[in-house]
Structure 1
Amino acid sequence: MVLELLKYEEHKWIICVHLKMDIFWLGQQSGYTKFPCFICLWDSRAKDRHWIQKEWPVRESLNVGEKNIIYESLVERENIVFPPLHIKLGLMKQFVKALNTDSDCFKYLCEVFPGLMLEKLKADIFDGPQIRTLIKDQAFTQSMTDVEKNAWGAFVSVVWNFFGNRKSEDYKELVESLMECFHVLGCNMSIKMHFLNSHLELFPANMGDVSDEQGERFHQDIKVMEDRYQGRWDIHMMADYCWSIQRDCTERRYSRQSIKHKFVLE
């Protein structure tokens, strides 16, 4: 119904959204599945092969009942674009999860973000502005060991030279260095890291041309609601969130009308 209202069949837009929505569009089974990649048959449970094997058998089709496909696809998978911001957040998640909770680096994170509970820090519940703050924080780098510093430096290099509007000529080498440093750090190969490791050629030429910032805005807004409801997710919290969006839209509309009216009077 949503796709019909958006007239997707008429426009066939490129889709850049949260990876969970990609799974929904393509009819894949959610959760920790054996074959989560919609491009190839990457085995998420074959951890002994993740850092060794880059090329996996191509997924020829998305047939219902095969390889964790449970519904018919709603969109063409050729129109799916990897979400750069979401993948960047996923890399940050793997970096933090690999840190020792007794290390100076992890303790520094607890000091910088005192509002985040220990469980959320372990799961790396971060957003874009927080990552940018850490990138600029020299004290954060100084709290790291050599192995952590190498992994963090490789991550920052990929952020600046691949995920933005400017893609450096040696971006492939930078991504390979990132994978190697994360492997040494002890990170697990997630589906987002798999996309970088095995499907780098499918990323857009200019990552700045696509954006999943609306999904990031949702994560930032919902944090405010979580604090207000003390981490309790229920229908009342979601209703409050929906009303806040409608209220903000109404205020912006009246604000634009007031500015236009003032301009006419002047």
Structure 2
Amino acid sequence: MCFLCLWDSRDEANHYDTTKWPMRTDYIVGRYNVKCKSLIDPSKVYLPPLHIKLGLIKQFVKAMYFNGDGFLHIKEKFGAILSDAKLRAGIFVGPQIRDSMRDPVFPSKLNSIESEAWNAVVQIVQNFLGNYRAENYSELVDNLLESYRKMGCRMSLKLHFLQSHLDFFPSNLGDVSDEQGERFHQDISVMKSLYRGRFNPNMKGDYCWFLQRETDTEHARKSKCIKHF
């Protein structure tokens, strides 16, 4: 569910046709998937550009033809660092996305429908989710949604924000750095490799200690005071 409106993620038949959903008027715990009381005012929530980019790429890759030249090119490019399951799920980080956008060969490997959607993604990243907002950004978003619809992409929550809550994005979207977000994704990918992709509740604790060791604060073990009688 969306925290701004009553968007139904399971109503896939009307996702692309319905752009206006009933707005949320209250946040009562137990109603409309509200699990706990909000810590901040929902109107002050910031939608980070990095996560929007990750969501767009994820839906794009998942809708690609896995035996096509485009997906095989991605597999050849990132297959050494990403598993086949992650490639098919479209799980990428910021540097890999930028590398793909700078790749002159990748667009030529796509079919006509994939190429149209990829060009729309590049336009959104460069002219809306970055440091520059084009005057026709609303038209660019419409082109993206239409190309994703032709490609058969599912309407994710990130796409829903672009479709129904475009005015919620601040005008100075590019003034906020994604450095911390990208660093988290890169660091947590290292932790996942250490745990060989298996879930372990200790991973979160190890990641916190990993961050603490990188600070300038010196930590020393206190010696136990042993008294002898």
Aligned length: 217
Among residues 23, 28, 52, which one is paired with 1:58 in the alignment?
23
Query: Could you say what secondary structure the match of 1:48 adopts?
Result: helix
RMSD: 1.5
Decide whether aligned partners of structure 1 residues 66 and 241 sit closer, same or farther in structure 2, where only a CA change above 3 A counts: closer
Normalising by structure 1, we get a TM-score of 0.78
Task: Provide Cα deviations, 1:197-247, integer angstroms capped at 9, x if missing partner.
Answer: 011011010211234542331111011122222112324443433332222
Counting only pairs closer than 5 Å after superposition, residues 64-83 of structure 1 correspond to structure 2 as 64-83=29-48
Post-superposition shift, 1:177?
A: 0.3
Q: Which runs of 5+ in 2 are unaligned?
A: 219-229
Paired residue type of 1:161: N
Equivalent in 96, 99, 102 of residue 61 of structure 2: 96
Distance 2:201 2:150 in 1: 43
Which structure is richer in relative contact order (CA contacts within 8 A, separation 6 or more)? 2
Normalized per residue, which structure has more helix? 1
8 Å CA contact 2:50, 2:181 repeated in 1: no
Counterpart CA distance in 2 for 1:195 and 1:236 is 34
Q: Structure 1's 185 and 61: CA in aligned 2 closer, same or farther, altered over 3 A?
A: same
Q: Distance in 1 between matches of 2:90 and 2:116?
A: 19
Distance between the aligned counterparts of 2:46 and 2:118, measured in 1?
Answer: 26
In structure 2, what is the equivalent of residue 240 of structure 1? 206
What SS does the aligned partner of 2:214 have? helix
Partner letter of residue 73 of structure 2?
Y
Secondary structure of the structure 1 residue equivalent to 2:144: helix
Q: Deviation at 1:41? A: 0.9
TM-score, structure 2 as length reference: 0.90
- Residues of 1 paired with 2:14 and 2:178: CA distance? 31
Structure 1 unmatched ranges of 5 or more: 1-35, 255-266
- Structure-2 separation of matches of 1:185 and 1:234: 36
1:69 is displaced (CA, Å) by: 1.1
Alignment counterpart, residue 108 of structure 1, candidates 73, 85, 100 = 73
